[in-house]
């Protein structure tokens, strides 16, 4: 028995008797052990941490993946810029054609 168990046994032994005190100390000890066993499931062990880290390696990008991603983003940016300018040019030409059409229609009805 540990010193804490002996102190608890002595303080309760006078009230419950030897058998009752021994049973009470045994009950407290088993409950504490049960709680400790339950808490062991909550905390990560070193092996659990290693397994978690190894499983997460697939999630994170490596340096090569980052470089490839940046290169792809630059290519996409260039393509997007070209598309924006082409769309702007097409809209401008549509506006010019509309204005020419309106002027042509007005001039044909004035004569």
99 pLDDT more than 90: yes
Note the pLDDT of residue 111.
Answer: 66
Mean pLDDT on 9-14 = 68
pLDDT band at 98 (very low <50, low <70, confident <90, very high): very high
* C-alpha–C-alpha distance, residues 67 and 27, integer Å: 62
pTM: 0.40
Read off the pLDDT of residues 54-85 as tens digits, 9 standing for 90 and up.
Answer: 877 777 778 888 899 899 999 999 999 999 99
pLDDT of residue 38: 74
> Where would I find the H helices in 1-111?
3-40, 46-56, 63-110
Alpha carbons 94 and 97: distance in angstroms, whole number? 5
In 41-62, alpha helices (H): 46-56
The two most distant CA atoms of the chain are separated, in Å, by: 127
- What mean pLDDT is reported for the chain? 82
């Amino acid at each position: 028995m540990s010193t804490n168990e002996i102190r608890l046994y002595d303080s309760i032994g006078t009230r419950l008797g030897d058998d009752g005190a021994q049973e009470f100390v045994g009950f407290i000890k088993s409950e504490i052990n049960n709680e400790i066993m339950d808490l062991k499931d909550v905390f990560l062990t070193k092996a659990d941490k290693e397994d978690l880290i190894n499983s997460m390696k697939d999630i994170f990008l490596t340096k090569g993946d980052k470089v490839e991603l940046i290169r792809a983003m630059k290519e996409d940016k260039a393509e997007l810029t070209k598309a924006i300018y082409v769309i702007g040019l097409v809209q401008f030409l549509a506006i010019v054609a509309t204005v020419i059409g309106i002027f042509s229609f007005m001039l044909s009805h004035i004569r």
